[in-house]
Structure 1
Amino acid sequence: MEEVWGRDHVILAHHPNSMLDSRVKLWPAIFILADFGRYPPNIANVGKDVIAPYKHVIRSYVNDSSDFDSRPTLLYFQGAIYRKDGGFARQELFYLLKDEKDVHFQFGSVQKDGVGKASRGMHSSKFCLNIAGDTPSSNRLFDAIASHCVPVIISDDIELPYEDVLDYSQFCIFVRTSDAVREKFLLNLIRSIKKDEWTRMWQRLKEVENLFEFQYPSREGDAVQMIWQAVARKVPAMRLKLNKLRRFSRFGTQKDGELRKIPSPGNFW
């Protein structure tokens, strides 16, 4: 039997380019990832692995007393506009939205007080765009949550932290990319969301924001605790698969190919 690496390991590989070579050998481990954008499904998938939030970059909105009327910007995006892979929608949306009077859609970076500008911009906006970039996810979603700015997610392949226990539709708007790049579709959708509905989502953002906060030492209900709970929820299925693989191994009665070679990742999980 060839050695199968990582079966009893949890591996933090949050950056999309982490462990580019070794990940192929460590597929039986539980990975903690930002998304599956650069992983083949036989190496990492939602069935066995855990999606963790990014640490938000902008300042948390402490003592947020804003409301629908006191946030003048309807829709906010600041960041890299021209991206590879799935990020083509950023460029398309830039051309559609850049001249709208109540929309902020501009290039931005962390340089020259970029974080401070983004903090002020998100804190004064009703909705914040989270558009796929080089990979399906980015820290922008978690910046929006920390700002209590209702996220508008345009990323068809995004996987979200703890979605098996958390209903994101209560505080996020999801738009298919093919719809978002249609002229006027996105703005008409956002403008159709009235004050009462926005306020309900804004309130829910304030209720869940702590689930995405990394703290040291960790506290009950923060991101660290939520990630470990997500790992724990994977264990029963992992144990079931392993036990089934061992059915015939003790007395050497397995058929040719069973446990004598590394199982197919798809079958293993």
Structure 2
Amino acid sequence: MNTILQEKLVKFLKGRDEWKQNGGKNHLVMAHHPNSMLLARKKLSSSMMVLSDFGRYPVEYANIDKDLIAPYKHVVKSINASNSRGFEERPTLVYFRGAIYRKADGIIRQELFYMLKDEKDVYFTFGSAQGGGIRAASKGMASSKFCLNIAGDTPSSNRLFDAIATHCVPVIISDDLELPYEDVLDYSKFSIFVHASDACKKGYLLKLLRGIKKDKWSQMWERLKEIAPHFEYRFPSRHGDAVDMIWQAVSRKVSNVNNKSYRENRYRMSQEFLNVD
């Protein structure tokens, strides 16, 4: 049925005059789940796509020049800024709860698990959404200073947005990750980026994180509280929430795509306007 529906979608869109006008370049396709549109994506690749990452998309189908990244909806309970715990109230230094044995770049989860699981102030364990897992993760992340966001089967993970929702400073270990709104948000002000190769060096990650003092951590924590609303999906949408931020990103992307098209076609368009053969 999935195959049939995607084939029908492609046939419907490509039969529309609106698609034919410019080959679908002014269409927006929501394909946020990494497995979305796996069959139709090549035939719809001229459109702008809203994705979670580019992990399962060849660059000729999807890329940062024409497409945009939207956040996952966080699964843990978000924290009100006024109730957020500060440095001293977060006894756990590093937190990760989730699937550990993954494919592709996600193999690093296994390496880090065996490296960190017995370390002091580190909570690194298997976990799922079942059996109270979300509730446990909400509590654990809200009482931790740093939350690991490690590549899984694809570069992205909802743990980044869970960390933001709980004001737990994200530690991003995913070399090929693209981030939502990065053209207007400086993630370095509220996140820590670590190359996968460095994270796998014995002692490197904990030395880095233990070396971050209260004042620097608090600066990132304050910024997290400021930007967290940008990752909240609300209905009806509010100014500055995830829905609004995505539409703003679409507007910026359309402008860039149009500028590129105008530059590439300026001579042809000029000659057509002047009726020059």
Give TM-score, length-normalised by structure 2: 0.87
Render the CA deviation track for 1:219-251: whole Å, top value 9, x for unaligned: 000010100111111122222333334753757
What is the identity, as a one-letter code, of the residue corresponding to 1:36? F
Question: Contact 2:147 / 2:170 at 8 angstroms: preserved in 1?
Answer: yes
Q: CA deviation at 1:78?
A: 0.1
Matched, 1:61 2:84: no
1:35 aligns with 2:53: yes
Q: What is the correspondence of 1:83-94 to structure 2 with a 5 Å cutoff?
A: 83-94=102-113
Residue matched to 1:236: 255
Q: 1:223 aligns with which of 242, 245, 264?
A: 242
From 110, 120, 138, the counterpart of 1:119: 138
Give unpaired runs (5+ residues) of structure 1.
Answer: 254-269
- Alpha-carbon distance in structure 2 between the residues aligned to 1:119 and 1:160: 22
* Amino acid corresponding to residue 170 of structure 1 in structure 2: K
CA–CA distance in 2 between the matches of 1:121 and 1:187?
18
Structure 2 match to 1:17: 35
Q: Whole-Å Cα distance in 2 between the matches of residues 223 and 238 of structure 1? A: 22
Q: Which amino acid aligns with 1:38?
A: R
Identity %: 62
Q: In 2, are the aligned partners of 1:127 and 1:151 still within 8 Å (CA)?
A: yes
SS in 2 for 1:248: helix
Shift of 1:133: 0.2
Residue 125 of structure 1, CA deviation: 0.3
How far does residue 27 in structure 1 lie from its aligned partner after superposition? Answer: 1.4
Q: Which residue does 2:65 correspond to in 1?
A: 47
Contact 1:90 1:133 in 2 (8 A): yes
1:248 and 2:248 correspond: no
In structure 2, the gaps of 5 or more residues are 1-19
2:124 match: 105
d(CA) in 1 for partners of 2:44, 2:23: 5
Query: Pairwise CA RMSD of aligned residues?
Result: 1.5
**The residue matched to 1:11 in structure 2 has which SS?**
strand
Instruction: State the alpha-carbon separation in 1 of the partners of residues 276 and 261 from structure 2.
Output: 16
After superposing the two structures, state which structure 1 stretch, 24-33 or 233-242, moved more. 233-242
| Counterpart residue number, 2:170 | 151
CA distance in 2, matches of 1:98, 1:223: 34
Contact 1:5-1:26 within 8 A present in 2 as well: no
Q: Which moved more, 1:243-252 or 1:37-46?
A: 243-252
